[in-house]
Amino acid sequence: MTGRPLVAIVRFPGSLDHETARRASEAAGAEVAWAWHSDTELPPGTRSVIVPGGFSYGDHLRCGAIASRSPIMAAVRRHAEAGGLVLGICNGFQVLCEAGLLPGVLRRNASLRFICRQVELEVADAGTPWTRGAPPVLSMPIKHNEGAWFGDPAEGRVVLRYRENPNGSVDGVAGIANRAGNVLGLMPHPEEASDPLLGSTDGRALFAALVA
């Protein structure tokens, strides 16, 4: 133990972006422990949870659907219900929606094309733990095929909106939180906008919440 805040990063079969999430978390000053899909508890002392991007369970049936029913998600649900922070990135966002921890669902991009590019996001709610102190506009990459959020924005808190809607998301939603604000999901990748080498460091603002 280092005394730094502990971030549990959940890994499913098919998770891909856990290493970049680990780097960004550690750069923010957090300590990282892995949580396996088959675990029934989060690592002791977990302060916050990241559900990273990838193609959990091969994206079979619906993106995130099978992962959302895996044993670790019951522990993530308890953590969220106790007010703990949970961040879902890309496939992790899909998992949190399928688990019912966030409103709505992610559908195929309206263009039916995989989209991989840098986008600009407006912070629509600066009152969540994730966005306090964030600049009003963030530049981050997206890379997804099923990123069109569908649902009722009033069931949660729209935190990030695309400046130019790339995928057909309802209300331009790029990231949405639960009403309490402690659970956030977003399709853009803040962990891939966390180092000058990657062209943007705007994603650091979200990771700062892990150590606040």
Partner 1 sequence: MSRVVVTVMPRAGVLDPEGQAVQGALARMGFAGVEDVRIGKRIELVLAGDDPEGQARRMCEQLLANPLIEDYSVEVQG
Burial classification of residue 108, based on how many CB atoms lie within 10 Å of its CB (0-12 exposed, 13-18 middle, 19 or more buried): middle
> Among residues 32 and 65, whose Cβ is nearest to partner 1?
65
191 is catalytic: yes
Please identify which of the residues 63, 98, 189, 192 carries the catalytic annotation: 189
> Among residues 48 and 70, whose Cβ is nearest to partner 1?
70
| Beta strands per DSSP E along 64-196 | 85-89, 105-107, 115-123, 137-144, 148-150, 157-162, 173-177, 183-186
Tell me the C-alpha to C-alpha distance, in Å, between residue 118 and each of 42, 146, 154, 170, 173: 33, 17, 27, 20, 16
> Among residues 42 and 106, whose Cβ is nearest to partner 1?
106
As measured in angstroms, the least distance from the Cβ of 7 to partner 1 is 29
Pairwise CA distance, residues 191 & 167, whole Å: 21
Pairwise CA distance, residues 73 & 64, whole Å: 11
60 is catalytic: no
Please identify which of the residues 98, 146, 191, 192 carries the catalytic annotation: 191
As measured in angstroms, the least distance from the Cβ of 86 to partner 1 is 20
Contact 24, 210 (CB under 8 A): no
Pairwise CA distance, residues 201 & 139, whole Å: 8
Pairwise CA distance, residues 89 & 137, whole Å: 18
97 is catalytic: no
As measured in angstroms, the least distance from the Cβ of 122 to partner 1 is 24
- Which positions touch partner 1 (CB under 8 A)? 61-62, 65-66, 69, 98, 104-105, 107-112, 150-151, 168
Please identify which of the residues 90, 97, 98, 144 carries the catalytic annotation: 90
> Among residues 48 and 94, whose Cβ is nearest to partner 1?
94
- Give the phi and the psi of residue 20 in degrees, each rounded to 5: -70, -35
As measured in angstroms, the least distance from the Cβ of 1 to partner 1 is 38
Annotated catalytic sites, by residue?
Answer: 90, 189, 191
